[in-house]
Amino acid sequence: MLTSLHGNVDRAEALGTAEASLIEKDWFVKWLWGDLQAEFRFLPPS
């Protein structure tokens, strides 16, 4: 996300959390999320 690339991590996290329900959960999203969690230890939005 561009917001986090520009150093505004708080805003990026808030936007990601607010918009999470709009993201379709298909096989690619599930695969990508699993890969990000494994490689970079991403945590689900709270």
Whether residue 32 has pLDDT greater than 80: yes
Average pLDDT over residues 24-36: 85
**pTM, 2 dp:** 0.43
CA geometry: angle at 16 spanning 6 and 12, to 5°?
Answer: 20
How are the residues of the chain apportioned to helix, strand and coil, as percentages rounded to the nearest 5? 70, 0, 30
pLDDT value of residue 45: 67
pLDDT band at 5 (very low <50, low <70, confident <90, very high): low
Contacts of 29 (CB under 8 A, 6+ apart): 23
